Amino acid sequence: KAGVTQTPRYLIKTRGQQVTLSCSPISGHRSVSWYQQTPGQGLQFLFEYFSETQRNKGNFPGRFSGRQFSNSRSEMNVSTLELGDSALYLCASSLVSGSSNTGELFFGEGSRLTVL
Amino acid sequence: SQKIEQNSEALNIQEGKTATLTCNYTNYSPAYLQWYRQDPGRGPVFLLLIRENEKEKRKERLKVTFDTTLKQSLFHITASQPADSATYLCALDLGDFNKFYFGSGTKLNVKP
């Protein structure tokens, strides 16, 4: 079974630009979560989607947004990039049902974003 | 304030010994606690999950304990091997739609 796939793996942007990251979850997983990882703050939760609905959101500004498609694939977007947005963005999928609100996370390899 | 603390200094041990990693937390009431392993440049990999009403969980050479009174989890790797060298992260799961709170991780170095 294929794991969680994230694209692109690496990207470089300049301040003020926007970026879209993509995530394909493990087949059958309907929950997709996004995390930001930086050396200073560690792993921080961005948001979680289940069946195209955002069920939870972390403490990030509105420049960070996401969505999930009917095939469970997800994208996140960061607009008006700032230097501090440089990080590893990790997507994780989870096999949870609609009645279960938690489960172990299967992470992708991440998208390494550098903002210059 | 809410905090999750893992040893920020690397843990260096000799091959064959038992590695013990600590995760302490304050002002959280996790329903579950999970441990992950992360290698450089890779995403975290799930290792073990323990529920708030469980004291101990084992899987092969791994053992995790969870003390909700002390607000602490201990993660043990017995008969450690150089291949166990990695950063280990604890994650608090409040049962809130996969919104986990991660510790900063402890880097384990197992020397042959």
Q: Is the distance from CB of A102 to CB of B100 less than 8 angstroms?
A: no
Confidence (pLDDT) at B8: 80
pLDDT in tens, B18-70: 999 999 999 888 889 999 999 999 999 999 999 988 989 999 999 999 999 99
B28 in contact with A at a CB cutoff of 8 Å?
no
CB contact, 8 Å: B99 with chain A? Answer: yes
A35-91 pLDDT tens trace: 999 998 899 999 999 999 999 999 999 999 999 999 999 999 999 999 999 999 999
Do you find a cis peptide bond into A8, omega within 30 degrees of 0?
Answer: yes
Q: How far apart are alpha carbons B80 and B84 in whole angstroms?
A: 6
Residue of B23, B93, B99, B107 for testing the chain A interface, max A β-carbons within 10 Å: B99
